[in-house]
Amino acid sequence: MKDILDKLAERRAQARLGGGEKRVEAQHKRGKLTARERIELLLDHGSFEEFDMFVQHRSTDFGMEKQKIPGDGVVTGWGTINGRTVFLFSKDFTVFGGSLSEAHAQKIVKVQDMALKMRAPIIGIFDAGGARIQEGVAALGGYGEVFRRNVMASGVIPQISVIMGPCAGGDVYSPAMTDFIFMVRDTSYMFVTGPDVVKTVTNEVVTAEELGGAKVHTTKSSIADGAFENDVEAILQIRRLLDFLPANNIEGVPEIESFDDVDRLDMSLDTLIPDNPNKPYDMGELIRRVVDEGDFFEIQAAYARNIMTGFGRIEGRTVGFVA
C-alpha cells in the first residue's frame, strides 16, 4: 500500500510541475505567475480541490503521442474566496503554451457544468494561444462546447475572465461572452489572430500592444473592464470584486458587516457640489463619501470618462452605481 501511495505522490508532484522547471522559470522571467501560483493566490489558503489532475490528450498525429503531460495544460477545480464557493480553471502556459485540446476542453466543460449545477461563480484565468493546431477540428469542437456553456450560464451565475498572457482565438472568444474581463498591463493581450497573421493577410505591421493590449481594450474597444499592473494585483482585485457579487441569479446580494455608521454626517458633502451648476466636481469623491468605508469598485474606469459605473455597499449590502 505504501508503494502505491508513494507512486501517487510522485505522480502528483510531476503534475504540479506542469511543463517542467525550465518553462516555469521562463514564465517567471516574463513577470508572470504559473497557473497553480495564480490559483493559490486567488483562493482561500488550503481550500482548493482539484479535478482531473492526470488527464492527458489522446492525439496521435504529428508525433503528439510522444508528448504527454499530466493535466494537459489546464488546472481545474473549486475552492472558496472569503468563505464563498467558486469554480475555476487556470490555463498553464508551460504545457503546450496552454493550447486547448479535446481533453483540455472536456476539463473546462466539466467545471462549467458543475458551477452551473451548484449555482456558484466561475472564474477563468487565461494564458494561452488558442486551439492546439495538431488536433484541428477536435480542438475547435471543444471550443464549441465551452462557448455553449458560456451562453447557458449567462445571467445565471457570474462569469469572470482574467487575461494574463498573450491570448488569441477561442481563448478570447469565450471571455468575450462572460460578464467581466480583466487584463494585466504589458503582459496580456486579446486578439482574434496575432500580429504575424495580420501582417501576412493585410501586409499591415502592428505590435501586439497596438492590436490587443490592455490599453486598447480598456480605453478604445471597452472589451476589458479593467487593467492591473501585475498578476498579483489582478488576482487580489478579483477577490475584492467577488465580495460584491451574488452567487447566482436567485440568491440576494451578499451582506457584509459594516463598521460605517448609517447615521454619520459628512460635512464635506456641503461643499463638494458647487453652487454654480456649470462648475464640475469629482463624482468619484462623492460616491466614496457615500458608500460604506469608502469602498467603491469601478468598472471600465478608463473608458467613456464622462460616466462612472461600479459597485459599492450601503448598510453592508451591495449596490450598483451609474453616475
pTM: 0.90
* pLDDT score for 308: 95
Which residue type, as a one-letter code, is found at position 121? P
* pLDDT score for 39: 95
* pLDDT score for 37: 93
Reported as type and span, the H/E element at residue 77 is strand 74-81
Spans in the chain with pLDDT lower than 50: none
Per-residue pLDDT tens for 122-171?
Answer: 999 999 888 787 777 888 888 999 999 999 999 999 999 999 999 988 89
Cα 307 to Cα 323: distance, rounded to the nearest angstrom: 6
Question: All 3 cell numbers of residue 60?
Answer: 496521435
* pLDDT score for 242: 95
List the CATH code of the domain at 2-242.
3.90.226.10
What burial letters (b/e) apply to 27-61, b meaning 16+ CB within 10 Å? Answer: beeeebbbbbbbbebbbeeeebebebbebebebee
* pLDDT score for 130: 80
Task: Spell out the domain ranges in the chain.
Answer: 2-242, 269-322
Instruction: For the chain, state the CA radius of gyration.
Output: 22
Q: Cell numbers 508532484 correspond to what residue?
A: 13
End-to-end CA distance of the chain: 64
Per-residue pLDDT tens for 92-115?
Answer: 988 878 888 888 999 999 999 999
